[in-house]
Chains A and B, each alone.
Chain A
Amino acid sequence: MKYPEVNIKTAKELGINEEEFELIQKYMGRMPNFTELSIYSVMWSEHASYKNSIKWLKTLPRDGGVLLTGAGEENAGLVDIGNNLACAFKIESHNHPCAVEPYQGAATGVGGINRDIFTMGARPIAQLNSLRFGAIDRDHTKWIAKGVVKGIGDYGNAFGVPVLGGEVFFDESYNSNPLVNAMSVGIMEKGKMVSAIAEGAGNPVFIVGSSTGKDGIHGATFASADITEDSANDIPSIQVGDPFQEKLLLEATLELIETGVVVGMQDMGAAGIICSTSEMSEKGNAGMRINLDKVPLRQKNMEAWEILLSESQERMLVVVEKGKEADAQKVFDKWDIHCVQIGEVIDEDKLYFHYKGEEIAQVPASTLVLGGGAPIYEREYTEPAYYAESKKFKIEDVPQPENLKEIVDFLITHPNLASKNWVSEQYDTMVRTNNMTTNMAADAGLVNIKNTNTALALTVDCNSRYVKADPKIGTMIAVTEAARNVACTGAKPVAITNCLNFGSPYNPEAFWQFVGAIEGMGEACRKFDTPVTGGNVSFYNQTTINGKTEPVFPTPTIGMLGILEDKSRKTGLSFKKKGDVIMLLGRSKNDINSSEYLYSYHKIKNTPPPFFDIDFELQLNKMLQLLAKVKLVESMHDISDGGLYLNLLESCLENELGFDITSDAEVREDAFLFGEAQGRAVVSVDMDAEQEFIDLMIKFNFPFSVLGHVTKGELRVDDISYGFVRDAKNKFMQALQNKMEA
């Protein structure tokens, strides 16, 4: 094959601008050849280089506390969880692949994030996912949602790691651009982390796992471009997953690490061999000499640049101590997977690639990567007009409706609020026998760390409607809600990972949302002392509605880790028995801003975020942890989407109980029941413990009120019956299935 001539036109076709093209020539001291240009194209893509976001990401709190590695230093963040154990966790997006091929897009997203965890030597023990789809009544949305859920299920179920939690949200904002964010969590012995580093001249470099094909070429570049009507033409950029290979790779990798011969290891994700070789070399101030003829291929007639850029799944690059090659080989022979030496580490900042007897590329490793020579940009941003407009909204604009029962029926069957069991039952949530929330519903997933007294609390959260309303406050709420969910199980929030899904960084209004979100995240994470361990940025998410292209709702998904040091403090969200007293922590507010009620029922869509006070949130969070510690409550459940009514109903389901409550005379009844003002949680208390509970609240001067009590099954507000729990439960559990299979 004859390669295209290298000039600015070729460069632009590969997504490289004029300025970058000149910089490449400067680094190389000559004109690059086509292969070298392709290398820079993927390595300097947004996806691999963070060139438009890194300036802002650096403002986040990224170390300290329980962190064992700084953000971005390794494949995933690492946290000390006591018991001589460390927890590796990270969330990543696979949005663009899922927009055109939902099943494989989602499956390979799950594969990729799990490899990030076990390449460090940690065994994955839990997964979560955060999914956003278009309007649910569209056939296209159902096709995407069904494919994504099946893709996550088929891959994760075979791989054998339970799904502990997640989110599913529908809005027309995601019509042509779904968001699929997958998180994996693993544990390992402390001090045994394998670094993504290449060092020691002469050490052999191995490729292990699947053979390499033409799938996924330029995937990183694809992920760094706008989704358009022509995106389906990019299907060859999408990788195909093989969970069986991944399972073998996991077991073989962990066994290899046990032998002690590994110098460094990195999985192959975006940008394949070129990314792993350059990042590992840069980290070790070294280089590599690689012979591409040795790479096991699954297709004939592959060009060198195709081998370098292929994103074929289930592969790793491993540097082993020289002389110990046979030890490595033995492990991979046992598991019947490839383990082939393709080169060696050299003492020079250069990557040399050979193919068919020729040196086909020679690039300085450090110029390719973030923190090395990759460009860093500052992007312009401007406040969009909708922001000032939203502040004009007043609750008085909405008349108080007469029939609240009709609103209850609407909300408990709304796909954003109803049970997500149609989704979660397609995932194996119990393999590895560590899920403590199968038989005790809770605000966060709880993972049993066997043979210790510890459990981990895990959650993913983001209400992107709030972030659209106010990027800074909305993102502070996302962090805070995650922390509330963790605290409601009794655990202490310790760290987060983030998945930043935004529109184009070249759109100043979309970038304004990004900047606001980062500011809010930084402030909230400092407040809760939950540093950011790493994550992922996904730009260029946009959707076309009525001929107008707009960024999706800005969606900075927060994945949070909490530690429950004493398992006996674990607390669920379900009411336990008739007669228990229902208490509200925090204060009711006359606020319906940005609620599902206001947005979907009244269809008033541009309003400020709900009431939020971060100082009080911290107090509330500590109070929730304290209540679990002193074992004064039967249940704890924070108030979030859908407001108080949804909160109470959710607490009734597991044990089929009801509630009888009285509203607050100071607050409109629709705001009391359906408003989403932050800083609130509902707890239930045994009658015999009521006085002790009240004494504690008074001692801490903590705002609370008595809402009512748990009933045998009837749902009552202000002496009006809203029916019985069995009927409500049926509606709530069936609603999503009815919509999806309609």
Chain B
Amino acid sequence: MKFGVIIFPGSNCDHDMVYVLRDKLNQEVVELWHKDTDLQSVDAIMLPGGFSYGDYLRSGAIARYSPIMESVIEFANNGGFVFGVCNGFQVLCETGLLPGALLHNNDQKFICKNQHIIAEQKHSALTEYVPNGKILTIPIAHGEGRYYAPKDVLADMMQNHQIIFRYTNEDGDLSEDGNPNGSSMNIAGVCNLTGNVFGMMPHPERAADEDLGNTDGLMILHSIIHHLESKKA
């Protein structure tokens, strides 16, 4: 598959995403510069983590206005696969491609640690290869990761299978002690109504290298490749 990784000024997980896709998963990868508009016929768009444009205003608030995002929005609206991780998720919420918003963590501190999550959907582009009920360990690293949406929106999302991942404690409970940032309903990742745009705060690309001792993220990335291949076939 051909992946396009968007590079905003201030992206800092771009190299990590490229490394995993190219070196660990043998995929074709192109880097797409924020000032360009040509998506180079990619099969999927990946928005990496970081601090786009410094994120001094509000995470993702400036990036949504970059030239490349106009093309990404058009791509998504035509059914193209778009996946945002961390800052990429924030950008997708700012564009309106994904519902909800990401607010400051409830303790007002940046937090970076291994975090347990479980897949809420068995059948989605991100979770096909995640075993049922499996508690994944995927790192988080964010200051603004508290997922928020109004109650009626959350109810609709539940109804429409748009909640993809939720935070849990080590026993797999959707409890307060398993919620690192105060997200509504422990939400860690979501998708849009049509199931082609995804965002999550945890970083699957940080759990995808055997040298680092955790490959849980590969289940998510393999699911994506499988989804794209079957779509293309």
Q: Provide the bound-state CA to CA distance between A159 and B19, in Å.
A: 19
Q: Provide the bound-state CA to CA distance between A438 and B112, in Å.
A: 11
Q: Provide the bound-state CA to CA distance between A428 and B55, in Å.
A: 16
**Majority secondary structure of chain B interface residues (helix, strand, loop or mixed):** mixed
Q: Provide the bound-state CA to CA distance between A438 and B115, in Å.
A: 12
C-beta contact mask, A422-439 vs B, less than 8 Å → 1, else 0? 000111111111111011
Which 8 residue pairs are nearest across A and B when measured between Cβ atoms?
A160-B12, A244-B54, A439-B213, A158-B51, A433-B16, A428-B141, A448-B211, A428-B112
Q: Provide the bound-state CA to CA distance between A435 and B203, in Å.
A: 14
Q: Provide the bound-state CA to CA distance between A451 and B15, in Å.
A: 14
Determine whether B156 belongs to the interface, using a CB cutoff of 8 Å to chain A.
no
Determine whether B212 belongs to the interface, using a CB cutoff of 8 Å to chain A.
yes
24 A-B residue pairings within 8 Å (CB atoms): A150-B109, A157-B141, A158-B10, A158-B50, A242-B54, A244-B53, A244-B56, A247-B9, A247-B10, A247-B12, A247-B51, A335-B9, A425-B111, A426-B111, A430-B141, A431-B13, A431-B141, A433-B19, A433-B20, A433-B206, A435-B212, A438-B139, A439-B114, A448-B212
Determine whether A604 belongs to the interface, using a CB cutoff of 8 Å to chain B.
no
For B141, the closest partner residue in chain A by CB is A428
Interface residues in A693-709 (C-beta closer than 8 Å to B): none
Number of B interface residues, CB 8 Å? 34
Determine whether A28 belongs to the interface, using a CB cutoff of 8 Å to chain B.
no
Residues on the B chain within 8 Å of A433, using CB:
16, 19-20, 205-206, 208-209, 212
For B209, the closest partner residue in chain A by CB is A433
Query: Taking A433-B16, A433-B19 as contacts, is the C-beta distance between A244 and B212 under 8 angstroms?
Result: no
Cβ-defined contact, B56 with A436, below 8 A: no
Residues on the B chain within 8 Å of A248, using CB:
9-10
Cβ-defined contact, B112 with A429, below 8 A: yes
Task: Looking at the assembled complex, report how far the CB atom of A30 sits from the nearest CB atom of chain B, in whole angstroms.
Answer: 47
Query: Taking A244-B51, A426-B110 as contacts, is the C-beta distance between A431 and B212 under 8 angstroms?
Result: no
Cβ-defined contact, B112 with A158, below 8 A: no
For A568, the closest partner residue in chain B by CB is B211
Cβ-defined contact, B213 with A438, below 8 A: yes
Interface residues in A412-458 (C-beta closer than 8 Å to B): 421, 425-436, 438-440, 448, 450-451
Q: Of A154, A335, A431, which one neighbours B16 at CB under 8 angstroms? A: A431
Which positions in B face A, CB cutoff 8 Å?
9-10, 12-13, 15-16, 19-20, 23, 49-51, 53-56, 109-114, 139, 141, 143, 203, 205-206, 208-209, 211-214
Residues on the B chain within 8 Å of A157, using CB:
51, 110, 112, 141, 143
Q: Provide the bound-state CA to CA distance between A157 and B143, in Å.
A: 10
Q: Of B12, B23, B111, which one neighbours A431 at CB under 8 angstroms? A: B12
Give the tally of cross-chain contacts (CB within 8 A): 96
Residues on the B chain within 8 Å of A535, using CB:
none
Interface residues in A211-257 (C-beta closer than 8 Å to B): 242-245, 247-248
Q: Provide the bound-state CA to CA distance between A434 and B211, in Å.
A: 8
Determine whether A567 belongs to the interface, using a CB cutoff of 8 Å to chain B.
yes
Cβ-defined contact, B211 with A567, below 8 A: yes
Q: Provide the bound-state CA to CA distance between A427 and B109, in Å.
A: 10
Residues on the A chain within 8 Å of B214, using CB:
438-439
Q: Provide the bound-state CA to CA distance between A158 and B59, in Å.
A: 12
Query: Taking A153-B110, A336-B9, A433-B19 as contacts, is the C-beta distance between A158 and B212 under 8 angstroms?
Result: no
Number of A interface residues, CB 8 Å? 35
Cβ-defined contact, B16 with A432, below 8 A: yes
Beyond A448-B211, A448-B212, 11 additional contacts (C-beta under 8 Å) are A157-B143, A158-B54, A425-B109, A426-B109, A426-B112, A427-B110, A428-B110, A430-B203, A433-B209, A439-B213, A448-B209
Residues on the A chain within 8 Å of B143, using CB:
157
Residues on the B chain within 8 Å of A451, using CB:
23
Query: Taking A160-B12, A439-B114 as contacts, is the C-beta distance between A430 and B54 under 8 angstroms?
Result: no
Task: Looking at the assembled complex, report how far the CB atom of B63 sits from the nearest CB atom of chain A, in whole angstroms.
Answer: 12
Interface residues in A594-641 (C-beta closer than 8 Å to B): none
Task: Looking at the assembled complex, report how far the CB atom of A140 sits from the nearest CB atom of chain B, in whole angstroms.
Answer: 20
Cβ-defined contact, A244 with B112, below 8 A: no
Cβ-defined contact, A158 with B55, below 8 A: yes
Q: Of A159, A336, A430, which one neighbours B139 at CB under 8 angstroms? A: A430
Cβ-defined contact, A427 with B51, below 8 A: no
For B51, the closest partner residue in chain A by CB is A158
Cβ-defined contact, B15 with A436, below 8 A: no
Cβ-defined contact, A425 with B51, below 8 A: no
Task: Looking at the assembled complex, report how far the CB atom of A491 sits from the nearest CB atom of chain B, in whole angstroms.
Answer: 15
For A250, the closest partner residue in chain B by CB is B12
Task: Looking at the assembled complex, report how far the CB atom of A12 sits from the nearest CB atom of chain B, in whole angstroms.
Answer: 42
Q: Provide the bound-state CA to CA distance between A154 and B206, in Å.
A: 20
Q: Provide the bound-state CA to CA distance between A440 and B139, in Å.
A: 14
Residues on the A chain within 8 Å of B13, using CB:
160, 431
Task: Looking at the assembled complex, report how far the CB atom of A304 sits from the nearest CB atom of chain B, in whole angstroms.
Answer: 31
Q: Provide the bound-state CA to CA distance between A440 and B110, in Å.
A: 22
Q: Provide the bound-state CA to CA distance between A185 and B208, in Å.
A: 24
Task: Looking at the assembled complex, report how far the CB atom of B163 sits from the nearest CB atom of chain A, in whole angstroms.
Answer: 25
Task: Looking at the assembled complex, report how far the CB atom of A449 sits from the nearest CB atom of chain B, in whole angstroms.
Answer: 10
Residues on the B chain within 8 Å of A429, using CB:
112
For A154, the closest partner residue in chain B by CB is B110
Cβ-defined contact, B9 with A244, below 8 A: yes
Cβ-defined contact, B112 with A427, below 8 A: yes
Residues on the B chain within 8 Å of A436, using CB:
211-213
Residues on the A chain within 8 Å of B54, using CB:
158, 242-245
Q: Of B10, B19, B112, which one neighbours A425 at CB under 8 angstroms? A: B112
Query: Taking A244-B53, A433-B205 as contacts, is the C-beta distance between A159 and B110 under 8 angstroms?
Result: no
Task: Looking at the assembled complex, report how far the CB atom of B33 sits from the nearest CB atom of chain A, in whole angstroms.
Answer: 8
For A439, the closest partner residue in chain B by CB is B213
Q: Provide the bound-state CA to CA distance between A450 and B210, in Å.
A: 12
Residues on the B chain within 8 Å of A158, using CB:
10, 12, 50-51, 54-55
Cβ-defined contact, B23 with A430, below 8 A: no
Residues on the A chain within 8 Å of B213, using CB:
436, 438-440
Task: Looking at the assembled complex, report how far the CB atom of B179 sits from the nearest CB atom of chain A, in whole angstroms.
Answer: 15
Task: Looking at the assembled complex, report how far the CB atom of B139 sits from the nearest CB atom of chain A, in whole angstroms.
Answer: 5
Residues on the B chain within 8 Å of A434, using CB:
212
Cβ-defined contact, A438 with B10, below 8 A: no
Q: Provide the bound-state CA to CA distance between A154 and B141, in Å.
A: 12
Q: Provide the bound-state CA to CA distance between A210 and B178, in Å.
A: 42
C-beta contact mask, A130-152 vs B, less than 8 Å → 1, else 0? 00000000000000000000100
Residues on the B chain within 8 Å of A448, using CB:
209, 211-212
Q: Provide the bound-state CA to CA distance between A397 and B183, in Å.
A: 56
Task: Looking at the assembled complex, report how far the CB atom of B17 sits from the nearest CB atom of chain A, in whole angstroms.
Answer: 9
Residues on the B chain within 8 Å of A159, using CB:
12
Q: Provide the bound-state CA to CA distance between A681 and B178, in Å.
A: 36
Task: Looking at the assembled complex, report how far the CB atom of B24 sits from the nearest CB atom of chain A, in whole angstroms.
Answer: 10
Q: Which of A243, A430, A440 is most buried by chain B, counting CB atoms within 10 A of its CB?
A: A430
Task: Looking at the assembled complex, report how far the CB atom of A570 sits from the nearest CB atom of chain B, in whole angstroms.
Answer: 9
Q: Provide the bound-state CA to CA distance between A448 and B209, in Å.
A: 10
Q: Provide the bound-state CA to CA distance between A563 and B143, in Å.
A: 34
C-beta contact mask, A36-65 vs B, less than 8 Å → 1, else 0? 000000000000000000000000000000
Task: Looking at the assembled complex, report how far the CB atom of A573 sits from the nearest CB atom of chain B, in whole angstroms.
Answer: 14
For B56, the closest partner residue in chain A by CB is A244
Task: Looking at the assembled complex, report how far the CB atom of B174 sits from the nearest CB atom of chain A, in whole angstroms.
Answer: 22
Task: Looking at the assembled complex, report how far the CB atom of A417 sits from the nearest CB atom of chain B, in whole angstroms.
Answer: 21
Residues on the A chain within 8 Å of B51, using CB:
157-158, 160, 243-244, 247
C-beta contact mask, A143-179 vs B, less than 8 Å → 1, else 0? 0000000100110011110000000000000000000
Residues on the B chain within 8 Å of A425, using CB:
109, 111-113
